[in-house]
Structures are given as C-alpha cells and as structure tokens.
Amino acid sequence: MATETHDGQDCPVIYCDQVGDQLVFDCPHCTDRRRRRHRKHYHGLGEGRRVAHCAEGPLCDTGYILKLRK
C-alpha cells in the first residue's frame, strides 16, 4: 500500500470511488463477517487525510489519505 507523509506521519493512501456526494471504498482491514467481504467506509467529498472509520486496526493510529480512483 502506498503512503504519503502528512504532519510527520506516514499515512496509507486509499483509492476510492465517488458515489453521489460521498467517497466510498472497501476497507482492507475491516470485514463484515456475515457477508464475508470487506466493509465499506463512507466519507464526504474531497481528497485528503481522514480519520479512520475502522473499529480497530492499524489505520486507527494514522488515519488515511483518500484519493479518487482514476
């Protein structure tokens, strides 16, 4: 996973899709056990650093940087 430095921290870059007025991606660290797939996270529009929506895991410490998939 690619990273970028933001405020002195290396943050993972996550590529997402725009769906309506939100950015959406399948989190590589969160799983929906009932459906056995990655859980989707939703954020408002605009690329940049975000606080992780994960309940636990490595992204909670740094957050992540969202970029639109091209």
Contact 11, 62 (CB under 8 A): yes
How many structural domains are present in the chain?
A: 1
Contact 25, 32 (CB under 8 A): no
pLDDT of residue 1: 82
Q: Is this structure's pTM higher than 0.75?
A: yes
27-49, pLDDT tens digit by residue? 888 876 676 678 899 999 999 99
Q: Residue ranges of the alpha helices (H) in 1-70?
A: 59-62
pLDDT of residue 31: 79
Domain residues for the domain of 51 are 3-68
| Percentage of the residues of the chain whose pLDDT score is greater than 70 | 93
Give kind and range of the element (H or E) at residue 12: strand 9-19
pLDDT of residue 15: 96
